[in-house]
Chain A
Amino acid sequence: MASENSRALSLDEHVRRINSQDKVATGVLTVIVGLVMLLVVAIIAYILVRGAGRALTPGFLTNPYNDEAVPGIIYQLWDSFYMLIVTLVISVPISLGAAIFLVEYAPDNWVTSAAKTAIETLSSLPSIVVGMFGSLFFVVTLGWGISILAGACALTMFNIPILVRTIQQALEDVPRSQRDAALAMGLTRWETTINVLLPAAMPAIVTGIVLSAGRVFGEAAALIFTAGSAPARLNFASVNFLSPTNPFNIFRPACSLAVYIWRLTSEPTAGSTEIVWGTATVLLACVLLFNLLARLLGKLLSRRLTAE
């Protein structure tokens, strides 16, 4: 009788203890999450406070770096976007192809697992190693010189693993029934992929591409030795595609926003600290815009597709 009593008591105690444990744990977790949110807000607020003034100065976004009154970042902005576009033009088709292969065709053998491992290796490579490789392979061996193309290829090496993974995921997420229906109708795998799977997976793919663009946009270490770090001097009226001043020439050196920040902190000139924070703000705003765009596009596309 006595032992039963104490057991009941200890059970009671146990329940109380686990309940208070639960409360404490929840409390601690809440605090942690609060701190993380605070950290994010603090970091972004700090950058904005230091840079928003400069970023919003009229002319900062539209003037060249050597403007006397308001040195701007138009060339760097252009180079960043242009390099991004070239990167996407190279990496999207390759990633799309690779992802389709891995999802649809890949035989279950060592070739496939080797290819998967290769893509995984790419995703974990430090950016400076990619930069070193690019500076030797793209710049010297292939003879492209310090150029947008070499930089874009280095960026492609980062982008491919991210893209392949998201596209693969998107394709796999298409309901089995759609694929089966298409195959049952006598379509080949290729036709099924092109006509059924890709359209169905498109919203997720587009979202993935835009999100990856945000990451590529801020990369610097891989570009320093491949695309260069000197701001190009561009002539937007130029029609000669092989001139280094032609904005579209892919064989000219370029300096992206992120590399420009790195360079200005390394080799500051008068008033460059302000430009650094201003550029950082613009960079951050671009990346946020990419994130927002990715969400919007994803929603819009999926709505259009389901409406049809």
Chain B
Amino acid sequence: MANLMPKRRLENIGLGITGFCVALVALVVITLIFMVAQQGLTTFFVDGLNPIDFFFGQNWIPEQERYGALPMIVGSFAVTLLSTLFALPIAIGSAIFVVEVAPSFGRRVFQPFIELLVGIPSVVYGVLGLYVVNTFVKAIFGDAAPTGAGILSGSIVLAIMILPTITTLSMDALRAVPNQYREGSYALGCTRWQTVWHVVLKSALPSLMTAVILGMTRAFGETLAVQMVIGGVERSMPMGLLDPASTLTAALTAGLSNAVSGSVYYHALWSLGLILLVMSLVFIMIIHLIGRKGAKANG
């Protein structure tokens, strides 16, 4: 009996230490959410900005005290959706190739290759985008895109940046499909493509959707790279894909250094941060929903 006590104490110590770590992380996250919400809501509750004017106002002109966030909200969603649209077929296509067609090539060559893209810092993507993508867009569209900066350029750069995220997660998703499914399909005389299309992709669908959402999360939150290529025009609504625009993150980076803490402008910027925070929570919820649905579908 006496021998058991220290063991139990040891167990409690272990529980205490590890539990503390988890609690610490949770505490920091809660503090973050609380602080961003507090600062972001000050705009409406203390400074008295009308939330409707804020979310649907089409002009962000701080020097005239006009804070309409719609141009940035539209910009953020536009680049996110467009970049996902660009990256998706390429990512899923390469994932299928390296999992279904050439697995050993995939593991030995392709995976390290695509992981290189993850390693490139976003500042470097920004510099590349500025010198290469914008020049390219300008050359193609001429006067319609005088600087080349705009939603299209931002989306292209983002597409390259989220490509590795979606690709590696899709590869994992496809690899997780049990081999019996494939064997069953081949045994029925299906071709490889039929197997991929009707069996593998279908059963991996929830995980693939998760991959896509995670890619979108990254695109939505990407900051410096997109800021360097999108043009940064916040004052009114973008009219087309070649029009320079701004995103929530770009507006924050540009504005945060000019705003004095405590001013309406400063709080309005935190409100933009709050939108970003809420959006990432929404993305997580979507992933949970997909996961739950997938679990149900697979029994």
Contact = CB atoms under 8 A, between A and B. Distances in A.
Contact of A26 (B36, B39, B193, B214): B193
Nearest to B8: A188
Given A33-B94, A126-B220, A220 B123 contact: yes
A18 B193 contact: yes
- Which of A18, A190, A193 lies at the interface centre, i.e. has the most chain B CB atoms within 10 A of its CB? A190
A104 B114 CA distance: 33
B139 to A, nearest CB: 17
B97 A32 contact: yes
B122 A220 contact: yes
A47 to B, nearest CB: 7
Contacts of B26: 114-115, 118
Interface stretch (A81-89, A132-140, A174-182, A241-249): A132-140
Interface in A222-263: 224-225, 258, 261-262
B276 A126 contact: yes
B22 A101 contact: yes
Consensus secondary structure, chain B interface: helix
A128 B276 contact: yes
Contact of B128 (A46, A121, A221): A46
B210 to A, nearest CB: 12
B284 interface: yes
A28 B93 contact: yes
B253 to A, nearest CB: 6
Interface residues of B, number: 87
B222 to A, nearest CB: 7
Nearest to A277: B127
B118 A215 contact: yes
Interface in A1-33: 18-19, 21-22, 25-26, 28-30, 32-33
Interface string B248-267: 01001100110001000000
Interface string B1-35: 00000011011011101111111111011111101
A193 to B, nearest CB: 7
Consensus secondary structure, chain A interface: helix
B19 A221 contact: no
Interface in A107-131: 114-115, 117-122, 124-130
A218 B280 contact: no
B97 A30 contact: yes
A33 B36 contact: no
A37 B214 CA distance: 22
A258 B101 contact: no
22 contacts: A21-B191, A22-B193, A25-B196, A28-B93, A29-B97, A33-B97, A33-B110, A36-B113, A36-B163, A118-B30, A126-B221, A126-B276, A129-B36, A132-B256, A132-B270, A136-B39, A218-B123, A221-B122, A265-B123, A280-B127, A284-B120, A290-B119
